[in-house]
């Protein structure tokens, strides 16, 4: 696989709205089933993002975190979130975001009112994708129970290796629970990482990921769970407001 072709694959992978398709087994954005394979060793001097399979927790948090665990929140789409400006999506993008939110809701068994938005990240030339649901009676502990699994590496049918792993994350001062999904794609000495972080409170569900602006032969910056988790916590301060 050429460097340019690999970068195009990375861009397409990252463009999947909010990384929801892999959660429901959609083949377009998830490697075909196959036997697990050993982690590749990059050639001397090659650089790759850190392996997300390392040092992952294996148990859910014992309780919902945060002083605000019992608070009720509602989601919104303000003109600015975390310092990033709201971007009005096209009708096609709105449909894709709505579909992504519905897929996540089905995966987690949630019902309620969908909320979605794009925010402009000019420094990295991409959109920050926010999808979520407002509702009642959500169980924050269900997030880990429904999504977490042991890291697995599979061949995608073209010789590339894709490692998918889940890592519990700090939900921040609004409480609830949070988890991040990391997808590391390797092709020889090339590697790219894609991450989405999700949170769940008794009244809100949200997910943060990225979509590149257009498709070009450039390798996206690798966003780790630490990167996206910190961004998620910052954005929640603007996207999620108490109802009282």
pLDDT, tens only, 179-235: 999 888 888 777 777 889 999 999 999 999 988 776 444 445 567 888 899 999 999
CA pair distance 231, 225, nearest whole angstrom: 10
Cβ atoms of 182 and 224 within 8 Å: the answer is yes
User: Quick check: 75 pLDDT over 50?
Assistant: yes
Q: pLDDT tens-digit profile of 100-157?
A: 888 888 989 999 999 999 999 998 888 899 999 999 999 999 999 999 888 888 887 7
pLDDT-based confidence at residue 93 (cuts at 50, 70, 90): confident
pLDDT for 224: 82
- Write out the H or E segment, with its range, that includes residue 209: strand 204-212
φ and ψ of 116, to 5 deg:
-150, 155
Cβ atoms of 153 and 159 within 8 Å: the answer is no
pLDDT-based confidence at residue 27 (cuts at 50, 70, 90): very low
pLDDT for 90: 86
Query: Rounded to two decimals, what is the model's pTM?
Result: 0.72
């Amino acid at each position: 696989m050429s460097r340019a072709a690999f970068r195009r694959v990375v861009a397409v992978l990252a463009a999947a709205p909010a990384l929801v398709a892999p959660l429901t087994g959609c083949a377009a954005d998830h490697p075909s089933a196959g036997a697990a394979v050993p982690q590749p060793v990059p050639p001397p001097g090659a650089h790759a993002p850190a392996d997300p399979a390392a040092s992952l927790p294996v148990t859910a948090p014992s309780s919902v975190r945060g002083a605000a665990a019992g608070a009720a929140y509602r989601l919104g789409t303000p003109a600015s979130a975390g310092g990033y400006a709201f971007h009005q999506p096209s009708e096609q993008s709105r449909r894709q975001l709505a579909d992504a939110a519905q897929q996540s809701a089905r995966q987690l068994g949630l019902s309620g009112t969908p909320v979605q938005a794009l925010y402009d990240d000019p420094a990295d030339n991409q959109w920050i994708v926010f999808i979520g649901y407002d509702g009642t009676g959500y169980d924050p502990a269900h997030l880990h129970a429904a999504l977490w699994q042991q890291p697995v590496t599979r061949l995608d049918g073209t010789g590339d290796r894709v490692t998918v792993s889940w890592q519990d994350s700090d939900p921040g001062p609004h409480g609830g629970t949070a988890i991040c999904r990391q997808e590391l794609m390797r092709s020889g000495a090339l590697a790219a990482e894609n991450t989405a972080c999700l949170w769940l409170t008794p009244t809100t569900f949200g997910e943060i990921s990225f979509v590149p602006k257009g498709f070009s032969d450039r390798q996206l910056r690798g966003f780790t769970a630490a990167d996206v988790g910190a961004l998620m916590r910052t954005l929640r301060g603007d996207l999620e407001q108490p109802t009282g």
